[in-house]
Amino acid sequence: MKFNKILSVLILLSCLLSAQTWILNNGITVSRAYSGGNIIVDSSANDTIYIKADNTHTSTPWFYWNFSVKNAGSRKLNFKFDTYRMHVNGPCISTDTGASWQWQANGTVWQYARSFSYTFTDSSEVRFAFTIPYTERELKSFLASHTNNQHIAETLFCTSDSGRRVELIRAGRIDSHCKHRIFLSSRHHACETTGSWVLEGMLEAALANDTLGRWCRDKLEILAVPLIDKDGVELGEQGKGRTPHDHNRDYITIPLYNSVRAVKAQLPVLGDTLLRLGLDIHSPGQTAENISIYADTAKGRDAYTFAEILQDSQTTEGHIYDKSTAFNSFSNTTSGTCRQFVNNLPGVLFGATLEIPYTTTRNNSTEPRKSVSKSSLKAFGKNVLNAVRILLQEKYPEDGGTTESEINNKTHSLVLFAIPNPFNLASSINCFVPFNNTAEISITTIDGKMIQKIFLAKSGHHALQISAASFSAGIYLARMKTSNGLTKSLRMYLSK
């Protein structure tokens, strides 16, 4: 008892000294002393260690944690959090000091769990984290695997507020002869690591020896800042809700943070007149499972087209995006965000926020969950880049080298949506007719009575104004049929 008291005092002392490492009475070492590490050890008793997330510098406690344990022998230890700190797969575990990660479970047993147990096999280090970490170490390792590749380059973007290097990665066609540029960013919120894995997947896809990679190296320059809040990333801080405001609320007249100042000053120059879009990649709440796209209404049309292309062209190696549950556009955007800044740059199609869940993805509660892994996140990144390619080919056919067969035989080329929908006075039906095609749009009542037929003699984008004056309230069906036989339907809801 007396010894335990001494131990408690020791632990308290080490906390007061802003501890990075805790040595417990049984010799076990718990540590956060590495890039991205985050934990506070409150106390321990027998084989139970009481821990909590360190929410330093944040106003709204979140859930990010990442720590290592050494010298546990072959003990089974219990780790107890102050509140629920995991999603359905429990902890993500690494036995090779962070090189590879596995989830402890695949299922629902850990939902809202406050604790987990682990049986050690020897005294070597085991790391535990909320999700798969991504820090400068992972970025450097990715860059090292492409050292002699002339299609990717790392340069200094700026120095962080604490003097760290904030990297700008340029990939694809980087010899200044590109036709398009896009901006990618992640870690405006330091803890949102899955976004960086998706971003890395996009960079890697631009270097691959396939149609997408070759198109990128011919047409597209990617400008990417994968670790915007570099200090927060390395210090293992949550970053989200940072006081007085976080990096994604810092796009204001005079930003607080060096990296945001750098985006504001450099992006218009780096992007030149060729900047087409920006994707700011985040992770959502602790238990969210939808991959979501957030756009601003003013630029929502192109963002929606992008969402539709992504849904229609994605492969199953990645995670599945579903626009019907996860496309959101806002007319009153929270001010000061990266997305809003990109949207206000001249000539940009859109800036959007992409949210990548931490643990598992699925689009509704009846679907099986898919666990995130480095490879699944990177595969999704490749799908995102491919959707960017298709969008740019459709929007800039003179620059895109779109081949007829590529575009004509895919239903994603049949873009069809209405704004607003539901509508009460008028709506605009937006559609894309594939190259070398004509199309017919027929509007019928839900039980098939023909209301209107519109013939589109030209390929490309069309916006058709529909007046509701002579229609009665109800559901209408807009059906598009192209001359090469593809069809797509849209329900329109008229309320009066």
Name residue, tokens 């590749």: 149
Closer to Zn ion by Cβ: residue 189 or 339: 189
Closer to Zn ion by Cβ: residue 91 or 357: 357
Q: How far is the CB of 188 from Zn ion (least distance, A)?
A: 6
Q: Classify burial at 308, counting beta carbons within 10 Å of its beta carbon; exposed 0-12, middle 13-18, buried 19 or more.
A: buried
Calpha distance 259→250 (Å, rounded): 10
Calpha distance 272→262 (Å, rounded): 15
Note the helical H segments in 209-297. 211-219, 230-235, 258-271
Return the bridge partners of 427, or none: 466
Return the bridge partners of 23, or none: 29
Q: How far is the CB of 282 from Zn ion (least distance, A)?
A: 3
CA 216, 217, 218, 219 torsion-angle sign = positive
Closer to Zn ion by Cβ: residue 284 or 400: 284
Closer to Zn ion by Cβ: residue 38 or 427: 38
Read off the tokens for 318: 């990645």
Q: How far is the CB of 58 from Zn ion (least distance, A)?
A: 12
Note the helical H segments in 182-297. 193-205, 211-219, 230-235, 258-271
Closer to Zn ion by Cβ: residue 282 or 382: 282
Q: How far is the CB of 395 from Zn ion (least distance, A)?
A: 28
Report yes or no: 323 and 311 within 8 Å, Cβ to Cβ: yes
| Contacts (Cβ under 8 Å, ≥6 apart) of 52 | 39, 40, 42, 81, 82, 83
Read off the tokens for 406: 């590529």
Closer to Zn ion by Cβ: residue 277 or 354: 354
What is the CA 451 to chain-centroid distance, rounded?
42
Q: How far is the CB of 451 from Zn ion (least distance, A)?
A: 44
Interface contacts to Zn ion, rule CB under 5 A: 189, 192, 282
Q: Classify burial at 204, counting beta carbons within 10 Å of its beta carbon; exposed 0-12, middle 13-18, buried 19 or more.
A: buried
Report yes or no: 224 and 169 within 8 Å, Cβ to Cβ: yes
Gyration radius of the chain's alpha carbons: 25
Calpha distance 185→168 (Å, rounded): 10
Q: How far is the CB of 363 from Zn ion (least distance, A)?
A: 20
Q: How far is the CB of 327 from Zn ion (least distance, A)?
A: 18
Closer to Zn ion by Cβ: residue 151 or 282: 282
The residue number whose beta carbon is nearest to Zn ion equals 282
Query: How many residues are given for the chain?
Result: 496
Closer to Zn ion by Cβ: residue 303 or 338: 338
Closer to Zn ion by Cβ: residue 282 or 462: 282
Q: How far is the CB of 284 from Zn ion (least distance, A)?
A: 8
